[in-house]
Structure 1
Amino acid sequence: MTPVLDLRHVDVDLPLGGFLTRAGLPILRDVNLSVGRGESVALVGESGSGKTTLARAVMGLQAVTAGEVHFDGTAIAGRDGFSRLRRDAAMMFQDATASLSPRLTVGYLVTEPFRIHRQPLPDPARMARDLLATVGLPPAIADRYPHELSGGQARRVGVARALALRPRLVIADEPTAGLDVSVQAEVLNLMADLRRDMGLAYLIITHNLALVRHVADRIVVLYLGRVVEEGPTAQVFAAPAHPYTASLVAAEPKPDPRKRRADLAIRGEMPSVLRRPAGCEFHTRCPLARDLCRATAPDLRPTTSGRLARCHFADHHQEQGDHHALEN
């Protein structure tokens, strides 16, 4: 089946500025990523790994330097192409309140996509009420302004706005950021219900691995703008094939200190994309690095389980992860 979203060898450079500067800041490199119809894919990695830049590139908010973005089997290019894509794909921004204009009412904001894309809107007030009801908000919210909303309400308004044109793909950038735990659960349950009822596909960008376990079918791990591991959620958590993924999983808070793995702790800071390390780009921080890692860059290749990992010793790390899972 043709995926709803398919990125092929995508590079993204950000301009450095300056009259004599031609080179850009290399954020994403050779990214291949797909999202199937009705599938939920999580994009994880540290801050600065390129997750939000990738989301912006998908929506045409950031220019793609090389590679192709395909939506529903069609290559998307140019202003007109991305304008059409935005009718079938929507984005939930990380800061829900800041993404809403403070000068407009909630009712206007949730129906604004119809005006932007010149879609028929015979009864805006009724459409606003219907969209708000879809995300569990009362009709009275339509007359409020964004500063009058709680964090959870602003997030639900962002969901309603994203759903206005009934998209096939929703890109959710940190959908639970800044919310109380109880409100996080409400938002996640809402997203799961909408996925079931509307057949939505999700690309979820998050640092919250607990969220990933709850909502994602598949995980894509980014490090320095490259995909370093990809696979089904349960398999990746049970036995990570890349040391970076293993370190992220090990960093999850655990109530039992005996189950914390200090041997997988990440050392130091992420290198600058302007000075990418030779060989494996993770070797400067990897607790398991060897001489081969420092000299030769690994390819993203299938492991024995069928997952993808950018590591010379992926099968070995995966096997060790399986043994550790059995011990615990």
Structure 2
Amino acid sequence: MTAVLDLRALSVDLPLGGFLTRARLPILCDVSLSVGRGESVALVGESGSGKTTLARAVMGLTPISGGSVFFEGQRVDGDLARLRRNAAMMFQDATASLSPRLTVGYLVTEPFRIHGLPLPDPAATARDLLARVGLPPAIARRYPHELSGGQARRVGVARALALDPRLVVADEPTAGLDVSVQAEVLNLMHDLRAGMGLAYLVITHNLALVRHVADRVVVLYLGRVVEEGPTARIFAAPAHPYTASLIAAEPKPDPRRRRADLAIRGEVPSVLRRPAGCEFHTRCPLVRDLCRSTPPDLVPVGDGRQARCHFADQRQDKQGERHAVDHR
């Protein structure tokens, strides 16, 4: 599959602040991932894992400290015009991402003006874009504060689609929406992907959303990839204890299906004081002595997956045995 987006050992360090220190916060560490044409990749992890920082770094909104960003095979350096012409971002707070001083009609057609593209009939273009996301033409005359959460989200989608991008970076696309509206937005994203061949990089902590929209999953912990692979295989048999704990934490109506033995303990460590060895060992329910002293590498574990765990292969063997027993 041809990669639309290819990140290679991407790192982001942010200044800690203050006049007397040059210390920097290592937010992302050597993150590599790719998104193919028409593919949907989900980036998951707890709050503070670096998901939004990665999205902003991809779009050039946060400077990178190391590594490279490639878009359609070409390295993205200082000139971001081509990337932003062919890639768009849906921000987490849909209403806040829309200027309160501009009408919806102006907002959804603004990308044409920003990139100096011809716009013979702005009103007709606005109507077409709004219709594409299921909104009536009258919405074009409203201001952002007059929209519901679901309407603001759809306006954000229309604005993102204005220039027919090849990639959409969606940061928490269903955040703050009612369940019924979430379903509408997800169905809309699915239909647009099928109709336009869009590639998605979806940033979320909602694993139910991941199951619905993602072909592959990339799991971040403290700004580092700890597991990556096809969605169905990762949910069926996670190779990293952190991934298993995230999946086990999903709300389940049947208490007998809850896995208390996989519960994540404690708080996320500070990026200023990263734990030695495996960075997850301070919270891992399966920690061993090796984990406390030696950092694991991201290695293949079969079925097109990778995991950063010393004992990933053993976990896979045990899960395979359990799966065989369950199906006897």
Q: Does 1:115 align with 2:113?
A: yes
- Secondary structure of 1:222's counterpart equals strand
1:141-194 deviations in Å (ceiling 9; x for gaps): 000000000000000000000000000000000000111111100000000000
TM-score by length of 1: 0.97
Letter in 2 for 1:33: L
> Which residue in 2 is equivalent to 1:186?
184
> Which residue in 1 is equivalent to 2:229?
231
Q: Does 1:44 align with 2:44?
A: yes
1:173-221 deviations in Å (ceiling 9; x for gaps): 0000111111100000000000000000000011110110011000000
Distance 2:200 2:304 in 1: 23
| Count of matched residue pairs | 326
Letter in 1 for 2:187: N
Q: Which sections of structure 2, spanning at least 5 residues, go unmatched?
A: none
Q: Does 1:33 align with 2:33?
A: yes
TM-score by length of 2: 0.97
- Secondary structure of 1:90's counterpart equals strand
Distance 2:321 2:178 in 1: 36
Q: CA deviation at 1:24?
A: 1.3
> Which residue in 1 is equivalent to 2:2?
2
Q: CA deviation at 1:20?
A: 2.9
> Which residue in 2 is equivalent to 1:154?
152
Q: CA deviation at 1:304?
A: 3.1
Distance 1:200 1:325 in 2: 35
Distance 2:318 2:107 in 1: 51
> Which residue in 2 is equivalent to 1:129?
127
Letter in 1 for 2:9: H
Conserved in 2, the CA contact under 8 Å of 1:96 and 1:155? Answer: yes
Distance 1:271 1:73 in 2: 36
1:252 to 250, 273, 279: 250
Distance 2:56 2:199 in 1: 17
Letter in 2 for 1:57: A
> Which residue in 1 is equivalent to 2:268?
270
Distance 2:319 2:90 in 1: 34
Q: CA deviation at 1:265?
A: 0.1
Conserved in 2, the CA contact under 8 Å of 1:238 and 1:321? Answer: no
Matches for 1:87-126 after TM superposition, within 5 Å: 87-126=85-124
- Secondary structure of 1:4's counterpart equals strand
> Which residue in 1 is equivalent to 2:314?
316
> Which residue in 2 is equivalent to 1:202?
200
- CA 1:280–1:307: 2 relative to 1, 3 Å: same
Distance 1:18 1:151 in 2: 38
- Secondary structure of 1:64's counterpart equals coil
> Which residue in 2 is equivalent to 1:216?
214
Conserved in 2, the CA contact under 8 Å of 1:6 and 1:70? Answer: yes
Distance 1:324 1:98 in 2: 48
- Secondary structure of 2:316's counterpart equals helix
Q: CA deviation at 1:324?
A: 4.8
Distance 1:201 1:235 in 2: 21
> Which residue in 1 is equivalent to 2:56?
56
